[in-house]
């Protein structure tokens, strides 16, 4: 799975409906230039012409009903056009995620590799966590794209002193390999070019200038077992043979209902599609919360790829999905086991450094224009702040006396 950039689109500018005035309108300077007590400016003495035109036409009353209905109808039609490109849907209006184009298909590439990610993306976040836990930072360098104003993934070289984060937290970077301005340019450098959806994460063959893979689960499986000769922590196995079937069972539950389920809620284009998605999401969260009442991780004492995949959705839940994607039935904070489980994983060394919450919020609230046209980013919930997430979850007692070697390797 992957995160995509928004398609380019032109904005439609609408002309207000004609308004018939019953009597001549005499415009005096005071209608536009007043004492500033009516909030028609920006607070710095700069007048807002849109507010003043509205005052001239309608005074203190609401705009005419015809204008409201016209703008609403036009906005709805424009929204549907934009959503059809952003989030393809089935006949019921349910979001249908396009499949990844570049797959590993069980192969382990031996080329010099480079990883492209974006910090808001939960699918890219999976790869960063496994890369960190396995100790692959030197073996697989990374370039971190940021959201662009036009919806693209673009590269920014932000000096450490200006990024506002500590040195252990990932921040957007320049393209360290191809020196491209945005991710679309990187994709186009492959042989034959590329005109498809530009997504992260993406694993790149540096020498042959080719996309190796842009399917997140393929990449984390490869990082887990395919690069042990280069990994600093080769003994860590997040997908041991004896747990593979159980991991796959959890993935079959979590992916459609939670990982993709939050997107099915947020990108639903009908009430019916939203109702189906939100019901599946919260019934699954209830089930997982019950399971975690007696199990430290999904598969017992051992941290696995299933936990990594669930974590990257949970860490964004109260921050993003509860608000922007209308996953409002409950906050994650209201699930005592799930929230403690999330904090438990967050506190594993190196995991917290892959979480850049301001960048994540910007990527959703300011990039997903159809869902948040004003681009206003809400304040961060206190339960999502680092200090709160660092409070002891006290879940170690759930591990048996013979705590899995897997967890010992992580810690």
* C-alpha separations of 270 from 81, 85, 225, 228, 279 in Å: 14, 16, 42, 46, 14
pLDDT score recorded for residue 313? 98
Cβ neighbours of 187 (radius 10 Å): 23
Burial label, 178 (beta-carbon count in 10 A; 0-12, 13-18, 19+): middle
Tokens of 382: 């206190």
pLDDT score recorded for residue 35? 45
pLDDT score recorded for residue 106? 85
Strand partners, 142: 115
pLDDT score recorded for residue 410? 46
Nearest to 201 by CA among 257, 143, 139, 263: 143
281 Cβ neighbours under 8 A, 6+ residues apart: 257, 258, 261, 262, 264, 265, 327
- Out of 3, 95, 116, 121, which one is annotated catalytic? 121
pLDDT score recorded for residue 84? 67
pLDDT score recorded for residue 59? 67
293 φ/ψ angles, rounded to the nearest 5 degrees:
-65, -25
- Out of 263, 321, 341, 365, which one is annotated catalytic? 263
Q: At what angle do helices 122-134 and 216-225 cross, to 10 degrees?
A: 0
Annotated catalytic, 321? no
User: Which residue stretches of 135-234 are H helix?
Assistant: 183-188, 216-225
Single pTM value for the model: 0.82
Name the stretches of the chain with pLDDT < 70: 4-47, 54, 57-63, 75, 77-86, 160-165, 400-411
327 Cβ neighbours under 8 A, 6+ residues apart: 262, 265, 266, 278, 281, 282, 317, 321
Strand partners, 147: 153
- Is residue 277 within 8 Å of 260, Cβ to Cβ? no
Tokens of 74: 């036009």
For residue 194, whether the previous peptide bond is cis, meaning omega lies within 30 degrees of 0, is no
pLDDT score recorded for residue 67? 75
Which DSSP state fits 297?
Answer: B
pLDDT score recorded for residue 396? 86
Spatial separation of the C-alpha atoms in residues 63 and 19, rounded to whole Å: 10
Tokens of 411: 């810690």
- Please count the CA atoms within 13 angstroms of the CA of 245 that sit on its side-chain side: 1
pLDDT score recorded for residue 377? 96
User: Which residue stretches of 6-91 are H helix?
Assistant: 29-32, 49-58, 65-86
Residues in the chain: 411
pLDDT score recorded for residue 29? 40
- Please count the CA atoms within 13 angstroms of the CA of 83 that sit on its side-chain side: 23
Annotated catalytic, 299? no
């Amino acid at each position: 799975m992957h995160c995509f950039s928004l398609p380019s689109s032109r904005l439609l500018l609408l002309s207000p409906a004609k308004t018939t005035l019953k009597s001549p309108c005499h415009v005096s300077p005071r209608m536009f230039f007043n004492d500033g007590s009516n909030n028609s400016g920006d607070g710095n003495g700069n007048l807002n012409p849109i507010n003043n035109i509205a005052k001239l036409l309608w005074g203190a009353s609401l705009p005419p009903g015809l204008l409201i209905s016209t703008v609403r109808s036009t906005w709805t039609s424009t929204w549907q056009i934009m959503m059809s490109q952003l989030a393809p849907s089935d006949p019921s209006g349910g979001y249908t995620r396009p499949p990844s184009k570049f797959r590993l298909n069980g192969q382990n590439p031996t080329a010099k590799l480079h990883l492209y990610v974006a910090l808001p993306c939960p699918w890219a976040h999976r790869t960063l966590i496994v890369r960190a836990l396995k100790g692959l930072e030197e073996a697989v360098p990374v370039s971190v794209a940021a959201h662009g104003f036009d919806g693209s993934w673009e590269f920014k070289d932000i000096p450490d002193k200006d990024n506002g984060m500590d040195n252990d937290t990932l921040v957007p970077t320049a393209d360290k390999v191809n020196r491209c301005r945005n991710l679309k340019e990187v994709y186009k450098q492959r042989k034959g070019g590329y005109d498809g959806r530009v997504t992260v994460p993406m694993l790149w063959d540096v020498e042959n200038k080719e996309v190796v893979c842009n399917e997140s689960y393929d990449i984390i499986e490869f990082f887990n077992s395919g690069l042990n000769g280069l990994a600093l922590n080769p003994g860590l196995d997040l997908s041991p043979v004896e747990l593979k079937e159980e991991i796959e069972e959890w993935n079959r539950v979590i992916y459609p209902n939670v990982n993709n389920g939050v997107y099915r809620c947020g990108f639903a284009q009908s009430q019916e599609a939203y109702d189906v998605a939100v019901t599946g999401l919260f019934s699954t969260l209830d089930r997982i919360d019950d399971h975690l009442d007696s199990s430290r991780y999904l598969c017992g004492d051992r941290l696995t790829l299933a936990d990594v995949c669930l974590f990257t959705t949970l860490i964004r839940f109260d921050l993003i999905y509860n608000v922007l994607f209308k996953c409002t039935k409950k906050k994650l904070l209201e699930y005592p086991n799930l929230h403690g489980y999330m904090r438990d994983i967050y506190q594993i060394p190196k995991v917290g450094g892959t979480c850049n919450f301001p960048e994540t919020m910007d990527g959703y609230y300011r990039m997903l224009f159809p869902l948040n046209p004003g681009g206003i980013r809400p304040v961060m919930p206190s339960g999502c702040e680092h200090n709160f997430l660092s409070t002891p979850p006290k879940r170690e007692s759930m591990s048996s006396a013979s705590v899995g070697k897997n967890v010992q390797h992580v810690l």
